Structure 1
Amino acid sequence: MKKFAAISLGIALLAGCSSPQVGWEQDNQIMVAQNSVELKSNLWLNKMPTIGEVQDQTLHGALYLESNAALPAELMVQSIAIRQGDEEWLIDGDLLELRTHSENHWEIAFVWQFSVDPDQPVDVAVMLNNGEHEEWLVEKSVAIDQVY
């Protein structure tokens, strides 16, 4: 009986820690406060040779949110998900840097270590929260550039 209780508790804890369900079927445009918001993604691997450092698979990202009008101040970026084949990675909002270029042009920057295949495209999803509800913006088949 104790063994069953321990297994049940473990399953319940794992279920409670599951990542948010990504809406991969979404588009790269949504309506927020009667304004269209579009996601444009740039991803790259830095292959510049460095002295004394091991070359790793650090993925750099600059994701742009663009709108035809001012983006709402209460709009928050919750997380980013990246998918390649059967693999999915989730980057929490605390690890993202939000840069405001103008009222209607924001940049979400990140640097994260993934084991991605740079020759294959990825799907990128951004979860936005506008205070009322959460929505996904998804850009499909984003190429990963390699910078030398």
Structure 2
Amino acid sequence: MKLQVMLALVVSLGLAACSEPESPTPPVSDAGEPARPAPEAAGEDEEQVAVETDGDGKPERPAEPAAATPLPEPLPTDLWRSAPSELTLGETVVTLNSSLWLRRLPVIGADGTAPSDLLHASVKLQTKEMQPLPKLDILRVLLMQGSQQWLVKENLDIRAEGELTLEVSLSEGPEWLPGSAVDIAVLLSYQGEEVRLIQHDVIIGPLRTGD
């Protein structure tokens, strides 16, 4: 009898030693699914990009580049560069016919030793085929020689010679050399629109003493 009791104890102890412990049951969320571990916080070294939002919480679009600033109107020194040598105003073709000369004034020149020989000009607007000039206004006259310029836009001395010619007289201009070439540009107003007319390579004549 004692032998049977001892065998039963040995068998029960062996079965207890061979059995494995059960794994712990994972926690369960309120929805009945296993809870997932919380994500780790971003490290300090990771770059974070901030996105600006508007009042509705939507990301703002990058600002569009500003429109290009319009270019300014051509300077007086550019008037003659793109102007034509003749204009058709209505049915009339208008050109320039200019003359340049020097006049000596009884004053001391820039070097302090000689009188000043100042430039004078007669700039004439004329028509072809003996047609009368249309109604127009002369706004300014520009004379160019190299990098130098003589711009006249106030108190213009304008004279009409009949219906075919309109003359602008200029006096006491720069001391340019006789025999040198000058470009002349005239800015006109015709029917509310500004137009330009040019004459190239007008030669400065010799000194005049009688006018």
The TM-score bracket by the shorter chain reads 0.7 to 0.9
Residue in structure 1 matched with residue 123 of structure 2 by the alignment: 63
Does residue 23 (structure 1) correspond to residue 80 (structure 2)? The answer is yes
Residue in structure 2 matched with residue 45 of structure 1 by the alignment: 102
- Equivalences for 1:1-148 in 2 at 5 Å? 19=76, 21-47=78-104, 53-54=107-108, 55-67=115-127, 68-73=130-135, 75-92=136-153, 94-148=154-208
Q: Which amino acid aligns with 1:69?
A: Q
Q: Which amino acid aligns with 2:83?
A: Q
Distance 1:21 1:133, change over 3 A: farther
Higher relative contact order structure (alpha carbons within 8 Å, sequence separation ≥ 6): 1
Contact 1:57–1:113 (CA under 8 A) maintained in structure 2: no
Contact 1:62–1:108 (CA under 8 A) maintained in structure 2: yes
Task: Give the TM-score normalised by structure 1.
Answer: 0.75
Contact 1:64–1:108 (CA under 8 A) maintained in structure 2: yes
Contact 1:27–1:138 (CA under 8 A) maintained in structure 2: yes
Contact 2:119–2:171 (CA under 8 A) maintained in structure 1: yes
Q: Tell me how large the CA RMSD over aligned residues is.
A: 2.3
Give CA-to-partner distance per residue, 1:96-143, whole Å, 9 cap, x none: 211111111111111132142333201011111113311111111100
Max Rg structure: 2
Any unmatched runs of 5+ in structure 2? 1-71, 109-114
Q: CA deviation at 1:44?
A: 0.5
Contact 1:98–1:106 (CA under 8 A) maintained in structure 2: yes
- Runs of 4 or more, structure 1, over 3 Å off, are 18-21
CA distance in 1, matches of 2:155, 2:119: 13
Give CA-to-partner distance per residue, 1:55-102, whole Å, 9 cap, x none: 2132111111111322123x000001111112222111x232111111
Task: Give the TM-score normalised by structure 2.
Answer: 0.54
Q: CA deviation at 1:147?
A: 2.5
- Percent identity of paired positions between Structure 1 and Structure 2: 23
Distance 1:70 1:81, change over 3 A: same
Any unmatched runs of 5+ in structure 1? 1-14
Distance 1:78 1:116, change over 3 A: same
